[in-house]
Amino acid sequence: MKIIATDADEPNHLNSKIAYKIESQEPAGASMFILNKYTGEVHIANFLDREQHSSYSLVVKASDRDGAADGISSLCNCAIKVIDVNDNFPTLSQSSYSASIVENSLSSEVLRIQAMDADDEFSDNWIAEFFFISGNQDNCFEFVTDPVTNEGILRVVKVRMYECYNSQNLK
């Protein structure tokens, strides 16, 4: 972002030469931003991680007389939102699941598999995508993701006959 301050004093004079300074940052800690003293441009100084802090608030001071202690100044608040990127892997609550289905029937829900993801909840980065690695060659099953719970819902989309498929491993 760029902070812009103006001064009504005579142009190109010390009384109208504005200098910018970051007075405070919330949350406090290591300085996450640098401010160009003469242009008012704010730049990122450190790695920002939305999972640590999703926003920052800066108080910036603009002072005439090139920032001298006897200069006239004003303050402004700057709100900075850290936008999430897809930088976290989803993890499953269990390493294996088991379910039973009735032969010759379709099912809108055989079981639910919970995925946890530290990305911004309900964002595209958070929603898990479930898919089969093997075992579903005849496309009798499908996964849909519940966008509220981030669970994969296993469904039967083609009827199964017990005599042909009394057990099937899906990965």
State the virtual CA torsion across 93, 94, 95, 101 in degrees, nearest 10. Answer: -120
The answer to whether 66 and 19 have CB atoms below 8 angstroms apart is yes
Query: What is residue 171's predicted lDDT score, i.e. its pLDDT?
Result: 87
Residue 5 lies in a domain: no
Q: Residue 164: its pLDDT value, please? A: 62
pLDDT, position 163? 56
On whether residue 114 sits in a domain, the answer given is: yes
134 occurs within a structural domain:
yes
Judge if 120 and 67 occupy the same domain.
no
Cβ atoms of 16 and 64 within 8 Å: the answer is yes
Tell me the C-alpha distance between 126 and 85, whole Å.
10
Say which DSSP state 67 is in: G
* Parent domain of 34: 14-81
What does each of the 171 residues of the chain score in pLDDT, given as a tens digit?
Answer: 999 999 999 998 999 999 999 999 999 999 999 999 999 999 999 999 999 999 999 999 999 999 999 999 999 999 999 999 999 999 999 999 999 888 788 888 999 999 999 999 999 999 999 999 999 998 999 999 999 999 999 999 988 765 566 678 888
pTM: 0.74
The answer to whether 109 and 155 have CB atoms below 8 angstroms apart is yes
Neighbours of 52 (CB within 10 A): 10
On whether residue 8 sits in a domain, the answer given is: no
- Number of separate domains in the chain: 2
**Would 4 be classed as within a structural domain?**
no
| pLDDT score of 162 | 58
Indicate which CATH number applies to the domain containing 70.
Answer: 2.60.40.60
The first and second tokens of residue 77, run together, are 């608040």
